[in-house]
Copies of this chain bind each other. A is one copy, B any other.
Amino acid sequence: MKKHVASFDLASKPVEVPTGTTLIKAARSAGVEIQQPCGGQGRCGRCVVQIEKGTVRRRSSLRLSTQDVEKGYALACQSIIEGDVSVGVPPQEKVERRLVTDLTAKKVSIPEGYNYLKHQNIRRVTLTITPPSMDDQTDDWSRLQRALRQEGGIDNIQTSLPMLQQIGALLRESDWKITAIVDTSLADPLQPSRLIALLPDHVSEESPLWGCAIDIGTTTVTLWLVDLFSGEVRAQVAEYNKQINHGEDVISRIIFSSNKNNAGILRQLVVETINLLLEKACKRVNARREEIVKTTVSGNSTMLHLLLDIPTINIRLSPFITTVNHLPPLTAREVGFNIHPDGTVDILPNVASYVGADITAGVFSSGIAKTDLKTLFMDVGTNGEIVLGTKDWLVACACSAGPAFEGAGVVNGMRATKGAIEEVWINSETYEPTIRVIGGGKPRGLCGSGLISLLAELFLVGVVDKSGNINTTRDTPRVRLGEHEAEYVITWADETAHQRDIVITHVDIDNLLRAKAAIFAGFIVLAKGVGVPLDTIEQVLIGGAFGQYINVEKAIEIGMLPDMPWENFHFLGNTSVLGAYYALLNWESRKQIDEIAKQMTYIELSADNTFYEAFTSALFLPHTDLTLFPSVSKAMAG
């Protein structure tokens, strides 16, 4: 096959690649990693590069203007090398720390009445074992089991081969005075108890015993380091999921990982992320990684499959099936976490492909399963999941809202990091906007809350009509015709960080309408499904990273949230990691989470006849049926 030379300005030397290689692949082999939020499908435009010499064959130039193409810009994932090329790689968006900082600031309360001896699955017992003698030649393992039974009351205990390889030396080096750490597996009577660690001598009561609650979000991975004795959360750390470069939403990740060449990459990246967090958390409280003996892991179904390298392809393909919802307890050795290698990795149960352990955990930690109030719970992160219920019943659905609220699918969309416009007010006479920017500097784009805010304002001041069309007759230079379509300029180039206008286009608004309509239609279908009118719902609990920043008023105005008094809305933050934390501390809580997963009725919206109708009706601002939004009608009239 013919070969060509590809040079990248960021690479130390050119690479030789065969005809037909994509630019992204050539870049990777040259050591240049280019972000692909959409997983390499040409949808997001984030992998744009500039061809400085030579030409490429463009399979698609979606997201590039004619001008861009003329200037030599090309999508790296969609461009094929057919001759020698020189390529310039523009600076990639840097991942910044706003979410991370915010998430780690919150103080977590220890569950009331937490009692290590009563609730904790992990037991630490000190043993003084009678050494072997000619009169009692019992083997080491049976002798240890006997001591655990007699002194610790722990029966039917198993262990791993690597532990068996060590116990002879451990018992003798410590002169038969040892401390054993055991997972008593109380939450599941079918599981035997399991010896995790043997420590020399009797450790002091003060010496720590750590656990971790982990939430693997599509965007952010959160880890809490917990003192298992007191129950206190001693460190909270978070990092962007390192998988992000290979897709910003679960679908993009699934597509990426379903390519045979990419097997195992996403697993490795998320394990790296978690090990980095473990290191940070340990450093903060001066803990040793081997002292961490248990982790409880939450996350959506795709993230949990990817963590274990279980193929995700059938999550994406109809009829949307996970490989496994209830995983047996695993060890850190199997999963790859840098804690005690025999430490337990307990993965919380999924309900369905798009209702994962994050929702099961969220339902538990938000208290729906214990309340009499008719409660709507929503987790709007990269995906949108909705649960409706009380302590007696639970129904759930997932809205394929897409990641519009995380900034993808929107020309100037971005994640909620430094430089993102998070709030917009528009003067109803001049149509001039006032903006608030995360971090306070010059803006670079719009994050989810900024988009909701902007859309609500544009609608209320009449720049956008109820169908989402931009009214180009408004007397302001901010409303103009872009290359293909109408757009509204929020910030002029000279006031932005990148010297380009920040705009919202008709297509962007269409994408936002689809996203909010999917969520609202989800509410409608769930409520109808169980015969509970939407207006009888007594509280709305909002979890998830994005949820925290929603302006409820604006979200109601665009018809994304149901129209009810603001005091009925409660923002709970990361309910997934909180649920994992409760499960980590208390085996009864862990059992209840299993029961929630079993009890929850999942409604597949794409199979539901009423969904399409509800969705279409919600594709307007705020909705075709204005009686559903009395407060908005009033504001429109005013």
Residues of A within 8 A of B (CB): 132-135, 137-142, 156, 158, 161, 164-165, 167-169, 172, 190, 192, 308-311, 313-314, 318-328, 330, 334, 350, 352-353, 602, 604, 606-607
Asked whether A308 and B156 contact (CB < 8 A) given A133-B319, A134-B319, A319-B134, the answer is no
Q: Which residue of B lies closest to A604 (CB)?
A: B134
Task: Give the residues in chain B near A156, CB-CB below 8 Å.
Answer: 190
In the complex, the answer to whether A140 meets B323 with C-beta atoms within 8 Å is yes
Q: List 27 A-B contacts (CB under 8 A).
A: A134-B318, A134-B604, A134-B606, A137-B320, A137-B352, A137-B353, A139-B321, A139-B322, A139-B350, A140-B314, A140-B321, A140-B324, A141-B323, A141-B325, A142-B325, A142-B326, A161-B308, A161-B330, A164-B310, A164-B323, A164-B327, A165-B309, A167-B323, A168-B311, A168-B313, A172-B314, A190-B192
**A319 — which chain B residues lie within 8 A by C-beta?**
132-134, 137
Copies of this chain present in the complex amount to: 2
> In the complex, which residues of chain B have a beta carbon less than 8 angstroms from the beta carbon of A132?
319, 321
Q: For the complex, what is the distance from the CA of A140 to the CA of B320, rounded to whole Å?
A: 11
Whole-angstrom distance between the alpha carbons of A145 and B607 in the complex?
A: 25
Is the pair B168, A314 in contact by a Cβ cutoff of 8 Å?
yes
Q: How far is the CA of A602 from the CA of B353 in the complex (A)?
A: 57
Q: How far is the CB of A277 from chain B (nearest CB, A)?
A: 22
Which chain B positions have C-beta within 8 A of A164? 308, 310, 323-324, 327
Q: How far is the CA of A395 from the CA of B353 in the complex (A)?
A: 60
Q: Which residues of B contact A606 (CB under 8 A)?
A: 134
CB-CB nearest in chain B for A140 = B323
Query: In the bound complex, what is the Cα–Cα distance between A327 and B501 (angstroms)?
Result: 70
How far does the alpha carbon of A133 sit from the alpha carbon of B321 in the complex, in Å? Answer: 9
Do the beta carbons of A135 and B607 come within 8 Å of each other?
yes
| Closest B residue to A607 using CB positions | B134
B318-A141 in contact (CB<8A): no
Top 8 closest A-B pairs, CB basis? Answer: A134-B607, A141-B324, A139-B322, A139-B325, A168-B323, A132-B321, A140-B323, A134-B319
Residues on B with beta carbons closer than 8 Å to the beta carbon of A168: 310-311, 313-314, 321, 323
| Assembly CA distance A140 to B334 (angstroms) | 21
Q: What chain B residues lie within 8 Å of A326 (beta carbons)?
A: 139, 141-142
